Chains A and B, each alone.
Chain A
């Protein structure tokens, strides 16, 4: 889809997926390349880069913490 917001756990990825979809943002849960986190297996939310800011607003409003955004540079 373009960009990936790295999530801190599988549960937070699932939570974010539902929050974003209910906010009308098209997205899907994906595995993040372990080399990106340096900590091993991780999950992220893949979405169009143009929706990243809106997605962050939704997650911030529900106090869901997330990691870096991959792609879109």
Chain B
């Protein structure tokens, strides 16, 4: 099996992720932040350790690391707090449905939104576009750091600086960039960074992070038990408990912690260099094939999107699956990005690399794609 769907979920995980998840489920099985018996304390330590590691990775204090179910959960928390009733929101033309659908749903609160262009990552063009679309009531700008379809990366530092100057909240969707490039709360100027734990951070599925500036207060999406102030009807004001109602999974947190530690030990740049090499190698091979179109080929990071003329992406995906190659075909939950790339009708075939892929897998994929172009 050749797994090339790492933009959806990285797989396999580093061995330490399996080991830690299993160990904590077996031996630290209490509820984190509930009571003070030994198993509860052990679970609490797992949660806190994960926050500490994420704090090192994203440049914040551990209490500003909110443990979420996934990036969608984190984005909903941030967007639905920063987009106040009757305000205006700007989102990029690369956004995933995890951004597009929440801002659309906020229409019932009279929130309106506009889409700014990604301009293949050109900072000057992106900033010009955002400036032209900012209104008096713009409360929030959202930027997908790196597209999940094609690897275009937005200039978040420059967008962040503009937002701070204008007093507008700025949320970064770092689902595809965290673990691949440095994403820092301070340098990005973001009020919130939202990311998945199961992608570039190599954690288990069911994990995500909301990294929040210390002076920002969000409204909970869920209310419930937090292990503190239990006689009060309102959710506590302190982070992270305010945004973490209900029992948190210590084993998943431990797995995510192990993934992030592995990432830092291995070296983020080492992994991303290897992935870029694989993606660039595949891009070159695909560009040399007559019937293949590669989208945004100069922007590929660890993701390559392509189509074969005359074949629907789903058909290509089925044929690749039959020979043991796992890729993702269709719209990748990003209709905006596909409209931007001109693939709004059928989507594309997406190949996304992870830390454990090798060049021989690229060569095998190349040979299979070439065979398909000859059919």
Contacts and interface: CB of A to CB of B under 8 A. Distances in A.
A15 B41 contact: no
B63 A11 contact: yes
B231 A10 contact: no
A34 to B, nearest CB: 7
A14 B51 CA distance: 11
A43 B36 contact: yes
Given A11-B63, A38-B231, A39-B232, A29 B36 contact: yes
Contacts of B36: 29-31, 43
A11 B240 contact: yes
A14 B231 contact: no
Interface in B21-75: 32-36, 41, 44-45, 47-48, 51-52, 62-63
Interface in A1-53: 8-12, 14-15, 18, 29-31, 34, 37-43
Contact of B48 (A11, A30, A34): A11
Interface residues of A, number: 19
Given A15-B48, A29-B36, A29-B41, A10 B232 contact: no
Interface of B is mostly: loop
A41 B229 CA distance: 5
A11 B51 contact: yes
B161 to A, nearest CB: 26
B45 A12 contact: no
Contact of A42 (B44, B48, B228): B228
A65 B321 CA distance: 55
A43 B45 CA distance: 14
Contacts of B230: 34, 39-41
Size bin of chain B's contact surface: 20 to 34
Contacts of B342: none
B228 A43 contact: yes
Given A29-B36, A31-B35, A9 B228 contact: yes
B238 A12 contact: yes
A12 B240 CA distance: 10
Contacts of B228: 8-10, 39-43
B44 A14 contact: yes
A72 to B, nearest CB: 20
A34 B32 CA distance: 18
A14 B238 contact: no
B48 A14 contact: yes
B59 to A, nearest CB: 16
A9 B51 contact: no
A66 to B, nearest CB: 12
16 contacts: A8-B228, A8-B238, A9-B241, A10-B32, A10-B227, A15-B62, A18-B52, A29-B36, A30-B36, A34-B231, A37-B229, A39-B229, A41-B34, A41-B230, A42-B228, A43-B36
For the complex of A and B, the 7 pairs showing the least CB-CB separation, nearest first, are A40-B230, A40-B231, A10-B33, A14-B48, A31-B36, A39-B229, A41-B230
Interface of A: 8-12, 14-15, 18, 29-31, 34, 37-43
